[in-house]
Amino acid sequence: MRQPLLRLDGLTKAYPGVLANDNVSFEIGIGQMHALLGENGAGKSTLVKMIYGLVKPDKGQMVLRDLPYAPAQPSEARKNGVAMVFQHFSLFDALDVAENVALGMENPPAMRDLAKRIRDVSEEYGLPLDPNRLVGDLSAGERQRVEIVRCLLQDPKLLIMDEPTSVLTPQEVEILFRTLRQLSSEGTAILYISHKLEEIRALCDEATILRGGKKVATCDPREKSARELAELMVGQILTPPERAAKPRGDVLLSVENLSLKSNNPFGTSLKDISFQLHAGEVLGIAGVAGNGQDELLLMLSGEIPSPSGQVKLKSQPIGQLGPNARRVRGLVTAPEERLGHAAAPDMSLTANALLSGAARKGLVKNGFIDWKKTDTFAREIIAKFDVRTPGSHVLARALSGGNLQKFVIGREIELAPDVIVVNQPTWGVDASAAAFIRQALLDLASAGAGVLVISQDLDELLEVADSFAALNEGRLTPVRPAKGLTVEEIGLMMGGAHDMHPAHEVAE
Partner 1 sequence: MIRLEKRKEPSKFWRIANPFLAVALTMIAGGIMFAMLGKDPITAIRLIFFDPIFSETFGSYSRPQLLIKSAPLILIAVGLAIGFKANIWNIGAEGQYIIGALFGAGVALAFFPQPGWYIFPLMVIAGAFGGFLWAMIPAILKTRFNTNEILVSLLLVYVAEKILAAMALGLMRNPDIAGFPGSRDLRRYEAAYNAELISGTGIHWGVVAALIAVIFAYAMMTRHMLGYHVQLAGQAPRAARFGGVSPARLVVICLGISGALAGLAGMFEVSGPGGQVRIEFASGYGFTAIIVAFLGRLNPIGIVLAGLLLGLTYIGGELGQMMLQLPGAAIQVFQGMLLFFLLALDFQTNYRIRLTQGARA
Partner 2 sequence: MILGSINPAVLMAALMVAATPILLAAIGELVVEKSGVLNLGVEGMMIMGACLGFIVAVNTGSPFLGFVGAAFAGMALSLLFALLTQALMTNQVASGLALTLFGLGLSALLGQRYVGITPPRTPKLDLGPLSDIPFLGRAIFSHDIMVYLTIALVAAVWWFLKYSRAGMILRAVGENHDAAHALGYHVKRVRVLAIMFGGACAGLGGAYLSLIRVPQWTEGMTVGAGWIALALVVFASWRPWRAMAGAYLFGGIVVLQLNLQAAGVKIPVEYLSMSPYLITIAVLVFISSGKARGSSNAPGSLNRPFHASS
Closest by alpha carbon to 282, among 450, 59, 62, 82? Answer: 450
Q: Which is nearer to partner 1, 228 or 303 (CB)?
A: 303
Work out whether 341 is an interface residue with partner 1 (CB under 8 A): yes
CB of 335 to partner 1, least distance (A): 6
Per-residue contact track with partner 1, 272 to 301, x per CB under 8 A? Answer: -----------------------------x
Fill in the per-residue mask, 386 to 425: x = in contact with partner 1 (CB under 8 A), - = not in contact: --------xx-xx---------------------------
Which listed option, partner 2, partner 1, none, makes contact with residue 362 (CB within 5 to 8 Å by class)? none
Which residue, 431, 43, 46, is CA-closest to 235?
431
Measured between alpha carbons, how far is 361 from 377 in angstroms, rounded to an integer? 8
Residue 267 contacts partner 1 per CB under 8 A = no
261 binds, among partner 1, partner 2, none (CB under 5 to 8 A by kind): none
Output the CA–CA distances (angstroms, integers) from residue 380 to 86, 181, 384, 407, 505, in the order listed.
39, 52, 6, 10, 48
The CB-of-58 to partner 1 minimum distance in angstroms stands at: 6
* Backbone torsion region of residue 435, taken as left when φ is above 0, otherwise alpha when ψ lies between -120 and 50, otherwise beta: alpha
| Minimal distance, residue 263 CB to partner 2, in Å | 12
In this structure, the dihedral spanned by the alpha carbons of residues 368, 371, 376 and 377, taken in order and rounded to 10 degrees, is 50
Q: Give the nearest distance from C-beta 89 to partner 2 in angstroms.
A: 4
Among 323, 410, 495, 496, binds partner 1 (CB under 8 A): 323
From the list partner 1, partner 2, none, which binds 343 (C-beta under 5 to 8 Å, kind-based)? partner 1
The verdict on 305 binding partner 1 (CB under 8 A) reads: no
Q: Which does 303 bind (CB under 5 to 8 A by kind): partner 2, partner 1, none?
A: partner 1
Write the DSSP assignment of 323-347 as a string of letters.
HHHHHHTTEEEE-S-TBTTTB-TTS
Non-local (6+) Cβ contacts of 50 within 8 A are: 11, 13, 21, 56, 57, 62
**Coil vs helix vs strand at 452:** strand
Of 254 and 269, nearer to partner 2 (C-beta) is: 269
- Distance of closest approach, residue 41 Cβ to partner 2, in angstroms: 15
User: Which CB atom, from 61 or from 90, has the smaller least distance to partner 2?
Assistant: 90
Answer yes or no: are the C-beta atoms of 242 and 446 closer than 8 Å: no
Minimum distance of partner 1 from residue 341's CB (angstroms)? 4
Among 2, 3, 56, 226, interactor with partner 1 by CB under 8 A = 56
Q: Which is nearer to partner 2, 46 or 455 (CB)?
A: 46
Q: Does 354 bind partner 1 (CB under 8 A)?
A: yes
The CA distance from 393 to 385, in Å, is 17
Amino acid at 201: R
Contacts of range 255-262, beta carbons closer than 8 Å, 24 or more positions apart? 255/310, 255/311, 255/312, 256/309, 256/310, 256/312, 257/310, 258/299, 258/306, 258/307, 258/310, 258/311, 260/295, 260/299, 260/304, 260/306, 262/292, 262/295
Told to check if 358 binds partner 1 by CB under 8 A, we report yes
Binding site for partner 1 (CB under 8 A): 16, 56-61, 70, 301-303, 322-325, 333, 335, 337, 340-347, 351, 354-356, 358-359, 364, 367-369, 371, 394-395, 397-398
